[in-house]
Amino acid sequence: MNIRNIAIIAHVDHGKTTLVDKILHHTNVFRANQETGELIMDNNDLEKERGITILSKNVSVEYKGVKINVIDTPGHADFGGEVERVLKMADGVILLVDAFEGPMPQTRFVLQKALQLKLKPIVVINKVDKANCRPDEVHDAVFELFFNLDATEEQLNFPTYYGSGKNGWFNDSVTQCEDITPLLDGILKHVPEPQIPEGNLQLQITSLDYSTFLGRIAVGRVARGSIKENQPISLVQTDGSIKKSRVRELYVFEALGKKKVTEVEAGDICAVVGLEDFNIGDTIADFDAPEALPVISVDEPTMNMLFSINNSPFFGKDGKFVTSRHLRDRLIKETEKNLALRVVDTDSADSFLVYGRGILHLGVLIETMRREGFELTVGQPQVILKTVDGKKSEPYETLVVDVPQEFASKVIDLVTRRKGEMLIMETKGDMQHLEFEIPSRGLIGLRTQMLTNTAGEAVMAHRFNDYKPWKGPIPGRNNGVLIAKEAGTTTGYSLDKLQDRGFFFVDPGEDVYKGMIIGENNKPGDLVVNPNEGKKLTNMRASGSDAATSIAPKTLMTLEECMEYIQQDECIEVTPNHIRMRKTYLDEEDRKRFAKSMKADGVA
């Protein structure tokens, strides 16, 4: 049977998962009366809530007697590690581009990886039904991008399709047609069949799956030879060591599920059951004469955070997993399938340094652990510094912001204050398109401020660029915080009296502890307050003096917003039911001693 392996890559929100939906519906994967909903591939709870793809997934459809393996990939730069490894399974890529926004930073990042792997590209310009779209300009911009990324002559001669994923049509011109048949025909025509070299079995594990019945499952594409059920094999690990093992069961992808088979030929993607102690990047090879495939290389992480056990007074109230052993085992388990993540032990047995690609990458890990029942404390995200040519260097990113023209000056001011330099400023329709080069440190906390200053209109995206010399200190949060003086339950009476001091992250009736951050101060500098004071009741009453207190509702902050908000001497307590910010040292005297020692280190 003919096979085509294709990955769909695009910037976040350009419509990858919607396109996969349309392919599934068009190839009659579902019964006519079956309820499927939208964004079928985003089946993880976090993906549904956030409307983004976090994990890459495989799906297989049959069209005109040809099996098409489709790989849906994440669009956020933070999950680039997912994309880099799954592209190894593909022979071609569909590059999906928004007809208004055009190529964005993440488009460039993933396309570069695909072109380096010599994959055949098909360009799809989506959302041509939107007002103010500009498909011809976007096509020219895509061509320019290919040229800048040193695409080969053959890759530059890419076919282009236009359409609307939402309305379910794609054509080789801007003229609307019935459905997505022209695009599927284009996949069969332009994507090459897998090229199979001579030789015995080679299969590189590029993805992991897990089943409560079968345990860990290795997923990858058979590069050469064939793999059979019950076959003895050699597992060549990334460090060069070889383990002997046996294939217990074999599955191929069919529609949204898997089908059990006895043999898989080279070129197809399969799932292997029965192997133990394998990792992504290992090669399943011939039993007698094993040959390893090149190790998958993933870009280095650019940010780290300190993960510790929860040592607050509310420790153990919510979570099931609270010890350092639980925390360590879970983090090590995550590194097996999350290639861009690193975990390093620290001097303390209760703390671990976790390295990742960005705030969203680490935030999704923390949120997943929280839902699994873990309690932990995380510190302020820090960028990873290196010494390049004898100079202290830090990671820089390319930041792209699309914003209405009246807010452009505010955006430029915000970014330049954080040591960003403007590279491009141009008008796209009624939006201003701005591109900056900015240290990664400057991006921490920027999104919240930018959305506030542009009335929520700014669309920003960024990707890692390179390590460059250190730019000097960047101003952090302007205002101090309000800190609870003692443990207790907050009262409306007390919060009402403190309202002129700032705004709150707690409502009346919530439990707080000494050293917990309960609000933001209106001025620089931290302020210790007592939110638990009750009203002294007497028998005397005066008309009007007991009018109901009117307290502004608390400010709700997401986990990522908290990660961007906290400073060096603060941390976040994460439990299954609560996300609280607190000072690292809960006692005021300890905080003063810590501040003094920091000052002394700075002088030294």
**Residue 236 CA to its chain's centroid (Å):** 30
Is 16 annotated in some ligand binding site?
yes
Provide the terminal-to-terminal Cα distance of the chain, rounded to the nearest Å. 71
Tell me: is residue 538 an annotated ligand-binding position: no
Q: What's the DSSP call for residue 194? A: P
- Tell whether 128 is in a known binding site: yes
36 is annotated as contributing to ligand binding: no
- Residues 116, 12, single domain; the answer is yes
| pLDDT mean across residues, the chain | 82
Residue 349 lies in a domain: no
Three-state DSSP string of 455-495 = CCCCEEEEEEEEEEECCCCCCCCCCCEEEECCCEECCHHHH
Q: What is the mean pLDDT of residues 70-82?
A: 68
Q: Which of 260, 285, 310 is the last residue of a domain?
A: 285
Residue 64 domain flag: yes
Q: Determine the structural domain holding residue 61 and report its residue range.
A: 2-190
Q: Is residue 315 part of a domain?
A: no
Burial of 600 (0-12, 13-18, 19+ CB in 10 A): exposed
Residue 66 pLDDT exceeds 90: no
174 marked as part of a ligand binding site: no
260 within some domain: yes
Q: What are the residues facing 6 on neighbouring strands?
A: 70, 92
455 and 519 in a single domain? The answer is no
* Cα(420)–Cα(442) distance, integer angstroms: 8
- Three-state SS for 313? coil
Record the tokens describing residue 600, joined without a space.
């002394």
Instruction: Say yes or no: 426 and 494 in one domain.
Output: no
On whether 15 is known to bind a ligand per the annotation, the reply is yes
Ligand-binding annotation for 17, yes or no, is: yes
Predicted TM-score (pTM) above 0.85: no
The predicted structure's pLDDT at residue 56: 61
Same domain, 256 and 139: no
Residue type, 244: K
Mean pLDDT value across residues 484-494: 89
Domain count, the chain: 4
Going by pLDDT thresholds of 50, 70 and 90, the confidence category of residue 582 is: very high
Cα–Cα distances in angstroms (integers) from residue 356 to residues 52, 249, 273, 415, 600, in the given order:
18, 34, 29, 23, 31
> Does 229 share its domain with 253?
yes
What is the DSSP secondary structure assignment for residue 516, as one 8-state letter? B
Q: Which residues are CB-neighbours of 335 under 8 A, at least 6 positions away?
A: 341, 342, 343
Q: CA nearest 477: which of 602, 394, 562?
A: 562
Let me know whether 396 and 487 are in one domain. Answer: no
Q: CA distances (Å), 93 to each of 70, 190, 231, in order? A: 10, 10, 32
**pLDDT tens figures, 363-373:** 888 988 998 99
Q: Give the CATH number for residue 409.
A: 3.30.70.240
Lowest mean pLDDT among 201-215, 323-337, 509-523: 201-215
Residue 38's pLDDT band (cuts 50, 70, 90)? very low
Distance in angstroms (rounded) separating the CA atoms of residues 219 and 203: 9
Residue 1 pLDDT > 60, yes or no? Answer: no
Residues 176 and 234 in one domain: no
pLDDT at 42 over 50: no
Q: Is residue 319 part of a domain?
A: no
Average pLDDT over every residue of 502-526: 90
Residue 401 confidence (pLDDT) above 70: yes
As a whole-number percent, the residues of the chain with pLDDT over 70 amount to 89
Q: Establish if 340 belongs to a structural domain.
A: no
- Whichever domain contains 108, its CATH number is 3.40.50.300
Q: Sign of dihedral through CA atoms 343, 81, 396, 116?
A: positive
Domain match, 448 and 553 both: no
What distance in Å separates the CA atoms of residue 332 and residue 31, rounded to the nearest whole number? 42
* Strands annotated E in 337-442: 342-345, 351-356, 376-379, 382-383, 386-388, 391-404, 421-428, 431-439
Q: Does 446 reside within a domain? A: yes
pLDDT in the model for residue 82 = 66
Per-residue model confidence (pLDDT) at position 52: 59
- pLDDT over 90 percentage in the chain: 11
533's enclosing H/E stretch is none
Instruction: Give the pLDDT score at 539.
Output: 65
Identify the pLDDT of residue 53: 53
Q: Is 387 annotated as a binding residue?
A: no
Q: Which two tokens stand for residue 516?
A: 């917990």
Residue 67 among known ligand-binding residues: no
The residue out of 144, 162, 190 marking a domain boundary is: 190
- For the ranges 37-46, 125-134, 177-186, 334-343, which has the lowest average pLDDT? 37-46
Spatial separation of the C-alpha atoms in residues 334 and 459, rounded to whole Å? 31
Whether 504 and 526 map to the same domain: the answer is: yes
Q: Does pLDDT of 33 surpass 50? A: no
Say if strands 66-72 and 421-428 run parallel, antiparallel, or are unpaired: unpaired
Phi, psi of 428 (to 5 degrees): -120, 100
- Taking the alpha carbons of 68, 340, 55, 111 in that order, is the dihedral positive or negative? negative
Beta pairing, strands 120-126 & 160-164: parallel
Q: Tell me: the pLDDT tens digits for 290-337?
A: 888 888 776 678 888 899 999 989 888 888 888 989 999 999 888 877
Coil, helix or strand at residue 401 = strand
Q: What is the mean pLDDT of residues 39-64?
A: 61
User: Is there a single domain that holds both residue 55 and residue 186?
Assistant: yes
Cα–Cα dist 105/465, whole Å: 10
By the 8 A CB rule, do 67 and 193 touch?
no
Give the C-alpha separation, 594 to 332, whole Å.
31
Among the ranges given (292-301, 349-358, 480-489), the one the predictor scored with the smallest mean pLDDT: 292-301
What does the alpha-carbon distance between residue 342 and residue 335 come to, in Å, rounded to a whole number? 6
Q: Are 380 and 571 in contact (CB under 8 A)?
A: yes
The answer to the question of whether 452 is labelled as a binding residue is no
CATH of residue 535: 2.40.50.250
Q: Is the pLDDT of residue 48 over 60?
A: no
Binning the chain into helix, strand and coil, the percentages to the nearest 5 are 25, 35, 40
Tokens of 282: 């290992």
Q: Average of pLDDT values for 398-404? A: 87
pLDDT (average), residues 71-99: 76
599 pLDDT band, cuts 50/70/90, is: confident
Least trusted range by pLDDT, from 82-86, 165-169, 429-433, 566-570: 82-86
Does 171 share its domain with 232? no
Does residue 359 fall inside a structural domain?
Answer: no
pLDDT classification of 374: cutoffs 50, 70, 90: very high
* pLDDT (mean) for 245-267: 84
**Which CATH number characterizes residue 220's domain?**
2.40.30.10
Count CB neighbours of 78 within 10 A: 26
In the structure, what pLDDT confidence band is assigned to residue 81 with cuts at 50, 70 and 90?
Answer: low
Residue 270 has which token pair?
A: 């399969």
* pLDDT at res. 325: 92
Considering 255, 285, 315, which residue would you say is the last residue of a domain?
285
For residues 133 and 212, membership in a common domain is answered with no
